[in-house]
Amino acid sequence: MFHKNLKYALISLTLLGVTGCNQRTILIHPQSSIPVPRVDPIVTAPIVREEILINKNPNLGERIGVPKNNASLGTTQNTNSSHGHGYENVDSAMERDREAPQIIKNTIIERMPFPVGEYNRLSKRGRSTVSGSIYLKNSNSSEKVMGKKVKLYLNPVTSYSKQWYQESYLSGYKMSKTDKRIYNYLKFTMSNGSGKFNFFGVPRGEYYLVGTMKCAKECGFSKLTTTRLVKRISVGSGVTNATLMKNVP
């Protein structure tokens, strides 16, 4: 019995010795960990929008149309867009800009309502006289071409006539028909064979002096051309002298 117990005790010590020899302590150094790569934040450059500020400045040239999709600097416009977001090219855009005023001028400008109260305050008869001459001056030869047998008229300055002067005479637009009531306030006359004219019985006030001449080569035109002449004058008491002329072509 004693020998059997001793045998078991030796076997147990042998097993404990083997187990103790096989045990290992593993130390992990802080620097032995796998490094994690550093990721820098992505910085996106700000988008700079292109602002085209060129208008009809004589020092900068023609106005450039801005594409509808607000192109950024350094980008290329899609010239074949099926949605119409870009111009075909800059030349086409500038060509449309040049054509736009002509398209507008083919549109008839509606006249303002006839200002009855404003015209009722005007005198239809007066005692003043307007005298002068009408002619065109050839800018190339400095020759004066007198307006012979030319019909002229005086048009009182009102909001109604100011619209005509600005839109029709200065800007060249077509306008709707004139209200016939204005003829009660116009003064008409005819120049003589020397281009001289006289208006009699004119009320004092501000007027547009208007006449139309036809002229060809003597005025520097290649063919017979109609030229409208308009000048604003102030009529006082007595005689007012007025010269109605224009340099052509």
Q: Report yes or no on 25 lying in a domain.
A: no
Domain that holds residue 149: 109-115+122-248
Check whether 228 has a pLDDT greater than 50. Answer: yes
This model's pTM is above 0.95: no
**How much is the pLDDT for 142?**
93
Q: What is the pLDDT of residues 132-168, one digit of tens each?
A: 999 999 999 999 999 999 999 999 999 999 999 999 9
The structural domain count of the chain equals 1
Structure tokens at 23: 């045990």
What percentage of the chain exceeds 90 in pLDDT?
Answer: 57
For the CA atoms of the chain, what is the radius of gyration? Answer: 47
Check whether 93 has a pLDDT greater than 90. Answer: no
Mean pLDDT of 202-216: 97
32: left (phi over 0), alpha (psi -120 to 50) or beta: alpha
CATH number for the domain that contains residue 196: 2.60.40.1120
